[in-house]
Structure 1
Amino acid sequence: MSNFFVKRRLLLLLISLIVLVTTMGITLKDRPVPTWPERFVRDSLAFVQSIVYKPAFAVAGFFESIKDVYVVYEENKALKQNLKQFAQITADLNELKLENEQLRKMLEAEQSKLSDYKLRIAEVVARSPDRWNHTLIIDKGTKDGISPNMAVITPEGYIGRIQSVSHFSSQVELVTDIERGNHIGAIIQGDERIYGVVEGYDPKNNLLIMRKIPMQSVIEPKQMVITSGLGGTIPKGLVLGEIVSVRTDEQFLTKDAYIRPSANLNQLEKVFVVERSLIAPTEIPVPALPGLPGSSAPSTPTTDTNGSEEGNQG
């Protein structure tokens, strides 16, 4: 009985194999129209795939969009950070360019006509807003050989003198604080060298006032004004500025010249402290004033305790 069932199973298996092979042989042929079982299976699978594919594609697209948004966010964050760094780098580069330009000008000034004097580079470390036109503080003191009454300049020209000194710093009295007694002997350059004293400041127009100029002197705008070096305090030849206008004084005995400073006193970062190597003569040659007796002989200047220089005309 058992052998009958075994033979029956083998017979069914054989028939199944024959049907399968026959079916495979039929389906493997290129046919324009598949059989109805194939069409049924294919359509069924296509219907099921269409139902599953669209939601799956939508879900996949959703997560892909989230990934893209995250990537864009990270890229935007990185770009903002790079932009901040770029702004900082640009600011640093501009500062370096400015400092390089300042140092180049100072080097040129040091190698120019001021080679007769010893120049000490100093940096402005403090400036009081309420005394902006009066004083500033530099980072050089007695340890660097700085002493009172030394001239302070920039590559553009004279800005003031050392007023007081401590060990590590010094206070500079600006030329715009000249009303306090810091008078400066000056020369107007031209065909004729005209001497006078800078002893006033016009804060409204930012002009220095040079007084005690002889009436017969011929002065034109844009003539250069330099220090005379008379009095033994401020070296000769430091640029003060150029003539803007000339007026007759109240007594109609001398002229007053208004000078625009060459140095930019509002933007001071690095300066030179000038150490004199020679002491200039103390006589101021004064041209004769017409109509005044005894005016042919030069007079002797008076020098106050603050190192101010002033010549008596006539």
Structure 2
Amino acid sequence: MPQFFLNKRLIVLLVSIILLVALIGISLKDRQKLTWPEQFVKDSIGSVQSLFEKPAQYVAGFFQDIEDIKSTYKENKVLKTRLDEYVELSVKVKDLEKENQELREILDKKESMRDFKPIQATVIERNPDKWEDVISIDRGAQQGIEKDMAVITAKGLIGKVKNVSQFTSTVELLSSASRTNRISAVVQGDTRIFGLIEGYDKEKQALLFTKIPSDVKVEKKQIVVTSGLGGVFPDNLVIGKVIEVTPDDYGLTQTAYVKPAADFNDISHVMAVNRIIPKVSKTP
């Protein structure tokens, strides 16, 4: 026997190659049914794939969920930042619109005050402890502000200049509890009713118009203005509107509650005004 056939390993290798070639040839044919070795191999591979596919999908899905959460977090952070910017911008727009409206009203008021000398100013300080007493404005002696000048908004009178510095001034509001805070006023109507604005009722948020004779009839909604009789304030500056009238304890006089035309809780832009006294020409 030749030495070739004595090598068993070589024989097994050749037989294996022949079987492999035969299997490849069979698998390449167009067959409708698989052989049992092919079925076994295919089912084995399918089982192994199924065994690893679900855990792999779970792990892949877990990391995908984490990535989605990160993306959502970043997106929400960006949207929140934009929302904060939008809210801030909306507030600024409203403030600008309000300031623009106030300045327009002040300008219209200034143009209509032919008999007065208005000086426009802005409120720069208002102490919460003296909220109803005084405010500070950014105009002083250098801009023509003088003590006891009337101070108004576009809506009406709010007070008078109390102290003057070179570039700032302090304004005493009509709502101040100071005993010296008095203004000569008149109720407009067929009959002019004179009196004094002195004092402020916090509960009713109304000025006290005192010294009205008991036999004089004052009605609600009548307009109260400055009389000009005090020698300091111009006349016809709007103060407010009558909302209630009560007699005093002795029945000798009446007190009218006057709702201020100006909003004392919201004062930003004001004007200090002084009556222009016409010069009298001297005759030779």
Classify the TM-score, shorter chain.
Answer: 0.7 to 0.9
Matched residue SS, 2:160: strand
Structure 1 stretch displaced more, 56-65 or 207-216: 207-216
Structure 1 stretch displaced more, 63-72 or 146-155: 63-72
Matched residue SS, 1:137: strand
Provide the residue aligned with 1:41 in structure 2. Answer: 41
Hey, what's the Cα distance between the residues in 2 that align with 1:247 and 1:53?
A: 92
Matched residue SS, 2:40: helix
1:135 partner amino acid? V
1:90 aligns with 2:95: no
Hey, what's the Cα distance between the residues in 2 that align with 1:247 and 1:70?
A: 70
Structure 1 residue ranges without an equivalent (≥5)? 5-11, 281-314
Does structure 2 conserve the Cα–Cα contact (< 8 Å) formed by 1:232 and 1:279?
A: no
Task: State the aligned residue count.
Answer: 267
2:99 partner amino acid? E
Structure 1 stretch displaced more, 228-237 or 36-45: 36-45
Output one character per residue of 1:102-135: Cα deviation in whole Å (capped at 9) or x when no partner: 22322332233x2432322222222223332221
Provide the residue aligned with 1:121 in structure 2. Answer: 120
Hey, what's the Cα distance between the residues in 1 that align with 2:102 and 2:253?
A: 39
Does structure 2 conserve the Cα–Cα contact (< 8 Å) formed by 1:207 and 1:259?
A: yes
Does structure 2 conserve the Cα–Cα contact (< 8 Å) formed by 1:121 and 1:273?
A: yes
In the TM superposition, residue 137 of structure 1 has moved relative to its aligned partner by: 1.0
1:63 partner amino acid? F
Does structure 2 conserve the Cα–Cα contact (< 8 Å) formed by 1:187 and 1:226?
A: yes
Does structure 1 conserve the Cα–Cα contact (< 8 Å) formed by 2:174 and 2:199?
A: no
Output one character per residue of 1:18-44: Cα deviation in whole Å (capped at 9) or x when no partner: x84x76564344322123333233223
Output one character per residue of 1:193-219: Cα deviation in whole Å (capped at 9) or x when no partner: 233333444444333333444555332
Hey, what's the Cα distance between the residues in 1 that align with 2:93 and 2:75?
A: 26
In the TM superposition, residue 164 of structure 1 has moved relative to its aligned partner by: 1.0
Q: 1:42 to 1:163 in 2, by over 3 A?
A: same
Provide the residue aligned with 1:69 in structure 2. Answer: 69
Structure 2 residue ranges without an equivalent (≥5)? 5-12, 280-284
Hey, what's the Cα distance between the residues in 2 that align with 1:261 and 1:71?
A: 57
Q: 1:223 to 1:23 in 2, by over 3 A?
A: same
**TM-score between the two structures when normalised by the length of structure 2:** 0.80
Q: 1:163 to 1:71 in 2, by over 3 A?
A: same
Does structure 1 conserve the Cα–Cα contact (< 8 Å) formed by 2:142 and 2:167?
A: yes
2:229 partner amino acid? L
Provide the residue aligned with 1:31 in structure 2. Answer: 31
1:188 aligns with 2:184: no
Provide the residue aligned with 1:269 in structure 2. Answer: 268
In the TM superposition, residue 247 of structure 1 has moved relative to its aligned partner by: 4.3
Q: 1:52 to 1:199 in 2, by over 3 A?
A: closer
Hey, what's the Cα distance between the residues in 2 that align with 1:206 and 1:168?
A: 32
Q: 1:279 to 1:207 in 2, by over 3 A?
A: farther
Provide the residue aligned with 1:310 in structure 2. Answer: none
Q: How does 1:11-26 map to 2 (within 5 A)?
A: 20=21, 26=26
Identical-pair percentage: 44
Provide the residue aligned with 1:233 in structure 2. Answer: 232
Matched residue SS, 1:241: strand
